[in-house]
């Protein structure tokens, strides 16, 4: 028998701007659930998650949370205002019984000291602080809305490990296929206001979705044929009768109404880059380029040749200098030393990850036309702005909507619409996947595969890099950049390690000193913060596990338990084995740390 849900939404209805957004949507989360919530941009995923978190109230339907359940919610755009430091913000998310050391440990693991001013954080730093706040209480339910946005690859891979190890339930919205595929065990599809559940990981979702849509089309086709048959009967079959069969006429009206009421799937974005005349065979050649800021090398003695048709990805942790290198390769920033030679006949179109090019007060239509009437020039041909908006799934009623009112996904589509309208043979894309839904990502990947020009892309989406790139330039650390053939998975295969291995070369043994030079007194090594915290908390963990083991053994000692409740007997036997293994591991770890502490202090 399945465990009762700790969170339940049933028959949720919600209207936005006079248009129904959610119509009978449901969500059930059981203990330890791993649920991927997917759907098109604008389908209401974030709204459903906010209703689940209690931040929005549905117009109708039921919301139930098991008493005593702790829940934490990470919004797409965290608000850190009202807190003096990042640590204050993280600690404010703790309950009375929660451990403040965990908040400090998570901030440290995410690269933050806790003393930062929230008002001065970058998008990635704000997301890290919000993650620490959400994870610190170890909640029973964790609701995450696009947690990987603005995170670099080390942070994404760290977050994957942290979420995979957590005991609580997880409901996750993300455009990162690899992230969803690793963490989900079930998938909830929000489509046309309603939800459908697949009790399989996200990796099985896309094939299932295509099957569902194909079955819908087949049913609609059958409905159309049935209506045609009934209409033929209505015109010809009753002419010989003195009295019409009113029941059958009524059934025909019902069939017509069913066809009118059918909500069709949302259309697809029409992505097509406006291509200029071909560039020369050489797009850019860098020879020994170097760039430093404040004495710290960002790029050091890097050389590469980018040829027409290449798809080059730039990968590295935040602050490694990806944007700096990109600007040097495109001629926007001169190097301190070395040279960059650009090819001939280059026409460049760019996409900015921070959406800085969009004025929030300008309307959607004026953003596309640059305020010049109602025409958009696409590939040097005029098109009416309403028609071009439709290619990117914007309705005519949104033409006068200020950009600041658009969702993150809609702003992403708007930037794509602007970037792809101008003729180009070089596309420069800085985090193009942020906020885009999976269907739009598919089309973007197909468009880039068909694009006749050259593509330079900065991205932390591993699946996107694998599907698009012919080579990847990776930040090894300390200004050193290395180019690898293929996508991100090929980079890992060639390096033999992931992004965290950038620190490995610095672990080499120090060079021997001359005998005459006195060796400096070594500083006394200390336990790390994580080890100290483990030493303090492991005894309580072992005590709790011991009590749970004793209780399970007492239940299993009942000789009639298996006959009365075989399922319960199996569950408790499995739980006993898991807790005994956890207790043994905790005792070993505590013993190791205690011996290390005695050695360091002795």
Which residues contribute to the annotated binding site for ATP?
39-46, 316-323
CB 451 within 8 A of CB 311: no
Strands 71-74 and 7-16: unpaired
> Six-digit token pair at 514?
């001359």
Give burial (CB, 10 Å; 0-12/13-18/19+) of 225. Answer: exposed
**423: closest CA among 380, 367, 468, 375?**
380
> Long-range CB contacts (< 8 A, 24+ apart) of 514-520?
none
Structure tokens at 75: 């919004």
Q: Is 512 helix (H, G, I), strand (E, B) or coil?
A: coil
Which own/partner pairs from 245-250 qualify as long-range (CB within 8 Å, at least 24 positions apart)? none
Tokens of 104: 């400090």
Output the six-digit token pair for 189: 């599809």
Q: With beta carbons less than 8 A apart as the criterion, state whether 428 and 254 touch.
A: no
Annotated binding site: 39-46, 316-323
The label of the residue with tokens 């702005």 reads 385
How many CA atoms lie less than 13 Å away from 495 in the CB half-sphere? 26
At 265, is the secondary structure helix, strand, or coil?
coil
* Of the candidates 207, 189, 197, 195, the residue with the CA atom closest to the CA atom of residue 437: 189
Euclidean distance between the first and final Cα of the chain, in Å? Answer: 55
In sequence order, what DSSP letters do the residues of 338-363 get, joined into one string? Answer: EEEEE-SS--EEEE-TT-TTS-TTSB
H helix intervals, 184-270? 205-232, 246-261
Q: Which residues of 544-568 are buried (b: 16+ CB within 10 A; e: fewer)?
A: ebeebbeebeeebeeeeeeeeeeee
């Amino acid at each position: 028998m399945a465990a009762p849900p700790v969170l339940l939404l049933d028959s949720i209805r919600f209207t936005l701007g006079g248009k129904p957004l959610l119509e009978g949507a449901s969500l059930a989360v059981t203990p330890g659930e791993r649920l991927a919530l997917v759907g098109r941009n604008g389908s209401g995923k974030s709204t459903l998650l906010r209703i689940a978190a209690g931040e929005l109230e549905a117009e109708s339907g039921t919301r139930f949370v098991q008493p005593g359940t702790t829940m934490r919610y990470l919004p797409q755009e965290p608000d850190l205002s009202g807190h003096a430091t990042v640590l204050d913000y993280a600690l404010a998310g703790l309950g009375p019984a929660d451990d403040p050391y965990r908040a400090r440990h998570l901030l440290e693991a995410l690269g933050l000291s806790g003393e930062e001013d929230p008002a001065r954080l970058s998008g990635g730093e704000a997301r890290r602080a919000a993650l620490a706040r959400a994870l610190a209480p170890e909640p029973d339910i964790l609701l995450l809305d696009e947690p990987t946005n603005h995170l670099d690859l080390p942070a994404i891979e760290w977050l994957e490990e942290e979420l995979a190890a957590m005991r609580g339930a997880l409901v996750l919205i993300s455009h990162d296929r690899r992230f969803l595929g690793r963490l989900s065990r079930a998938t909830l599809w929000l489509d046309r206001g309603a939800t459908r559940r697949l009790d399989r990981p996200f990796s099985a979702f896309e094939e299932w979705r295509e099957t569902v849509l194909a079955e819908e089309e087949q049913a609609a086709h059958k409905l159309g044929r049935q209506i045609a048959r009934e209409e033929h009967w209505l015109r010809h079959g009753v002419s010989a009768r003195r009295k019409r069969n009113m029941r059958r006429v009524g059934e025909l009206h019902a069939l017509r109404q069913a066809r009118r009421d059918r909500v069709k799937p949302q259309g697809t974005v029409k992505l097509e880059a406006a291509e200029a005349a071909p560039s020369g065979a050489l797009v850019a050649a860098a020879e020994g380029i170097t760039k430093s800021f404040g004495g710290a090398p960002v790029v050091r003695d890097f050389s590469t040749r980018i040829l027409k048709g290449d798809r080059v990805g730039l990968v590295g942790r935040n602050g490694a200098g990806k944007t700096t290198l990109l600007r040097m390769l495109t001629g926007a920033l001169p190097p301190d030393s070395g040279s960059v030679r650009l090819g001939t006949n280059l026409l460049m179109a760019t996409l900015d990850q921070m959406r800085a090019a969009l004025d929030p007060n300008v309307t959607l239509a004026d953003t596309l036309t640059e305020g010049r009437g109602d025409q958009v020039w696409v590939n040097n041909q005029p098109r009416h702005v309403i028609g071009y908006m439709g290619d990117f799934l914007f309705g005519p009623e949104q033409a006068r909507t200020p950009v600041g009112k658009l969702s993150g996904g809609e702003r992403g589509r708007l930037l794509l619409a602007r970037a792809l309208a101008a003729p180009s043979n070089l596309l420069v894309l800085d985090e193009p996947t942020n906020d885009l839904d999976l269907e739009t990502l598919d089309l973007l990947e197909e468009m880039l595969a068909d694009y006749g020009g050259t593509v330079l892309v900065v991205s932390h989406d591993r699946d996107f890099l694998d599907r698009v790139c012919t080579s990847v330039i990776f930040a090894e650390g300390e200004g050193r950049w290395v180019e690898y053939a293929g996508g991100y998975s090929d980079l890992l295969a060639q390096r033999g390690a992931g992004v965290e291995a950038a620190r490995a070369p610095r672990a080499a043994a120090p060079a021997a000193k001359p005998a005459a030079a006195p060796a400096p007194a070594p500083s006394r090594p200390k336990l790390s913060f994580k080890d100290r915290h483990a030493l303090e908390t492991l005894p309580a963990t072992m005590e709790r596990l011991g009590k749970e083991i004793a209780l399970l053994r007492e239940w299993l000692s009942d000789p009639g338990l298996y006959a009365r409740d075989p399922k319960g007997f199996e569950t408790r036997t499995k739980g006993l084995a898991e807790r005994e293994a956890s207790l043994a591991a905790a005792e070993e770890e505590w013993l190791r740390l205690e011996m290390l502490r005695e050695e360091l202090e002795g």
